[in-house]
Chains A and B, each alone.
Chain A
Amino acid sequence: METELIAPAATTILTGAPSTQDAYLSVAGIAKSYGSQTVIEALDFHVRRGELVSLLGPSGCGKTTLLRLIAGLVAADSGSITLGGRELAHVPAHQRNVSVVFQNYALFPHLDVQDNVAFGLRARGRPATSIPAAVAEALALVRMSDYALRPVGLLSGGQQQRVAVARALVVNPDLLLLDEPFSALDRKLRETMQIELKALLRSRGMTAIFVTHDQDEALAVSDRIAVMNAGCIEHFADPATLYARPATAFALEFVGLSTRLAGVVRHCQASVASIETACGTVSANADFRPGSAVVVGVRPERIRVVPSGQPVPPGWNAVRAPLTDVVPLGARTHLYGRAGKGNAAGASVGEGQGDGEGDRLLCERANTEGGMLGEAGSAVREGEVLGWQWPVADTLVYPAWTA
């Protein structure tokens, strides 16, 4: 089935991307392949001064390669990288003034904490008399002053990370790159370190790029998030926009949870598409050619679940589907519904799409007073057919995956 996208409403609204004028780091048309395998293909990426940005994507999406290209640890096949107006393409890594906090930190095992931190200063030939004070200041910044003489092998994961950050910051880099900096830490420590590091980078006005596969981490530390997939940036926006209006079906799937319904556009009038799905017809603000196969997405907190047959407010979509799972999550509860087979569109487009999962309805409810299903007025049982309602304005539509 031919899928033709005319202009999806979702992508035209947003893009907080800076113009190339106010970019501090500018990656333009960069490409990298290993043999026949293209890792990054003609990628553009612009970061403002003082911005904290995350490259978010699954493993193998090219995010680490992009980081290594910016750091100068691998050479690009083509394209340019400018930092503060300086062209970096042919500048070797050690002359770029771009620091990296490596995954697992790559501390020098033969040096103690203070010599690790002093390494960059010595490498830059700073006068020996100025080094102890700078090292002491950097260690104070990460609250590691008491560990200056420790061998790094005796430090815990969190302490090693602090040393790695101090070592990277003490040379006052123009740009800080962090490759999965929190992945080696346990969950509690990770959250503490994220808040701490963000505050530290902010206070220094540092421009930093985090590479991560963890969406919570990206949301916690960044001003803007670039969702990467297969060597391309799918969507680059602030966390709120990224969540509310993901530019692509991949970004929708990768960041946060959502309802996902396969459908076919029946007709499209005045930028409102009418889409037939396995559990009913829904409307969305989008321009698609009739007959296009699409995926409908809705964020879970936008959906409300009501007893079947309850009237639909104007400007709302409503479908009927059985409740399959109720997952209590403490402050919230997730209600899952499955679009029934045998409905008109279900058989033709509902199967074999995306990552193999079928259609799915997901509603997130805050567990406030009044119970889990306060709006519905009564407790629901799994298997019960319910009405699932959400505003047309919150209906996201993407061309069906052609993976």
Chain B
Amino acid sequence: MRTPRTVDGFVLLAAPALVYLAALYALPLVLLLLKSFNAKGSFPSIAGYTEFFADPFHLKILWRTVRVALLTTLLALLLAYPTAFVLARARGFVQSLILLALVLPLAVGVIVKTFAWSILFRSDGLLNKTLLAIGLIDEPVRLLYTETALVISAANVFLPFMVLPIYAVVRQLDARLPEAAATLGAGPVFCFFRVIAPLTLPGVIAGSAFVFSMAVSMYVIPSLIVGERSQTLSMLIARSYLFLRDEQLGSSISSILLLIAVSVVLGSSWLLRRLSGGKT
């Protein structure tokens, strides 16, 4: 029986991308998942996972990875939220300038940016020199190789991915809604929490999902900023493959990391659907 011809010809336009993704992304992903259940010839086996969760060292790294990603997301959100309003309010040249300042750093490689941060954070770096010069500290403090430095530099790198989704929502915000709130007796604080915040929440969720999923799996930034001293999951994965030659452990951790990122993305899109459910 012939299938009814319901597929639009336009779908064919997506075919190259689909083939590309299937060959270079979906296929390796399946291989990775299969490998995580393959313990030295015996298949299936969950040895890779039990090995991971049995080791407190690994759990510590898992928690650190999630914590760093959460803190990075939070810092990026705090910086991005007001910026998005300024960007939405700005007009013409100023708006182009802010957008350029946001997007242009994306053209600079992550490695370059992270090196720049590591120079700033060094014990003889600009930050320490400044703090010493103004007398806030008596001897150089250790900034490089700390989690704080990692969060600061990661938030810097991922900032545009937080600003742009929030900006997209703020731009759509009806300017009369805050006015309506004011004429109904709402002061600025009440208006923010009851009108502005709920209406911009979709942008916050989308931006947070972007930044969290990138921060939880970042590799270059922690490698350069904190090094082997305090590893994250992605560094552990690299270690498993490159130094330990333990492909099952590596693929198991990869799958766990993937699960975290995917659940954040799915969870946030579920939240977004729920939020917009009652509106139209």
List A residues at the B interface (Cβ < 8 Å): 71-73, 92-100, 102, 104, 106-110, 112, 119-120, 122-124, 151, 153-154, 167-168, 171, 177
B53 shortest CB reach to chain A, Å: 41
Given contacts A106-B174, A151-B278, A151-B279, contact A92 B182 (CB under 8 A): yes
Q: Mark B139-164, 1 if CB is under 8 A from A, else 0.
A: 00000000000000000000000000
Partner of A100, one of B180, B187, B190: B180
The reply to whether the CB of B74 lies closer than 8 angstroms to some CB of chain A is no
Q: Which of A72, A97, A108, A153 contacts B180 (CB 8 A)?
A: A108
Are A94 and B185 touching (Cβ within 8 A)?
yes
User: CA A85 – CA B199 in complex, angstroms?
Assistant: 38
Are A109 and B279 in touch, CB under 8 angstroms? Answer: yes
The 7 closest A-B pairs by CB, nearest first: A120-B184, A123-B186, A106-B176, A93-B182, A106-B180, A100-B183, A123-B185
Asked if B180 contacts A94 (CB within 8 A), the reply is: no
Question: Which of chain A's residues have a CB closer than 8 A to the CB of B186?
Answer: 94, 119-120, 123
- The answer to whether B180 touches A102 (Cβ under 8 A) is yes
CB distance from B230 to the nearest CB of A (A): 41
Contact: B187 with A123, CB < 8 Å? yes
Q: What residues of chain B lie closer than 8 Å to A96, measured between beta carbons?
A: 183
Query: Residue B185 contacts which of A71, A97, A153 (CB distance < 8 angstroms)?
Result: A97
Are A94 and B199 in contact, CB atoms less than 8 angstroms apart? no
Complex Cα gap A178–B183 (Å): 12
Beyond A97-B185, A99-B183, A123-B185, 19 additional contacts (C-beta under 8 Å) are A93-B182, A94-B183, A94-B191, A104-B176, A107-B180, A108-B181, A112-B278, A119-B186, A122-B194, A123-B184, A123-B190, A123-B191, A124-B185, A151-B278, A151-B279, A153-B278, A167-B184, A168-B183, A171-B184
Bound form: Cα–Cα A162–B190 in Å = 24
Query: Is the C-beta of B177 less than 8 angstroms from some C-beta in chain A?
Result: yes
With a cutoff of 8 Å between Cβ atoms, the chain A residues found around residue B176 in the complex are: 102, 104, 106
- 29 CB < 8 A contacts A-B: A72-B182, A73-B179, A92-B182, A94-B181, A94-B184, A94-B187, A95-B185, A100-B179, A102-B179, A102-B180, A106-B177, A106-B179, A108-B177, A108-B180, A108-B195, A109-B199, A110-B279, A112-B278, A119-B186, A119-B194, A120-B185, A123-B181, A123-B194, A124-B185, A153-B278, A153-B279, A168-B183, A171-B184, A177-B183
Measured between alpha carbons, how far is A124 from B182 in the docked complex, in Å? 11
Q: Is B280 an interface residue (CB 8 A)?
A: yes
Residues of B with Cβ closer than 8 Å to A?
174, 176-177, 179-187, 190-191, 194-195, 198-199, 275, 278-280
CA distance A94 to B186 in the complex (A): 6
Which listed residue, A98, A108, A151, touches B183 by the CB 8 Å rule? Answer: A98
User: In the complex, what distance in Å separates the CA atom of A99 from the CA atom of B181?
Assistant: 10
- The answer to whether A110 and B182 touch across the interface, beta carbons within 8 angstroms, is no
Chain A nearest Cβ from B107, distance in angstroms: 37
In the bound assembly, the distance between CA atoms of A107 and B176 in angstroms comes to 9
CB closest residue in chain A, given B197:
A110
Question: B198 to chain A: which residues have CB within 8 Å?
Answer: 110
Interfacial chain B residues near A112, Cβ < 8 Å: 278
Report which residue of A100, A122, A123, A167 has the largest number of chain B beta carbons within 10 angstroms of its beta carbon: A123
A271: min CB distance to chain B, Å: 49
Chain B contacts for A171, CB-based, 8 A: 184-185
| Interchain CB contact under 8 A, A153 and B183 | no
Contacts of B199 in A (CB 8 A): 109-110
User: Which one of B185, B187, B191 has the greatest number of beta carbons of chain A within 10 Å?
Assistant: B185
Q: How far is the CA of A93 from the CA of B176 in the complex (A)?
A: 13
**Which of chain A's residues have a CB closer than 8 A to the CB of B187?**
94, 123
Contacts of A168 on B, CB cut-off 8 Å? 183-184
Whether B184 pairs with A99 at a CB distance below 8 angstroms is: yes
Nearest neighbor of B188 in chain A, beta-carbon distance: A94
Of all chain A residues, the one with the shortest Cβ separation from B277 is A151
A93 contacts B179, C-beta separation under 8 Å: yes
Chain B contacts for A110, CB-based, 8 A? 198-199, 275, 278-279
A-side contacts of B185, CB under 8 Å:
94-95, 97, 120, 123-124, 171
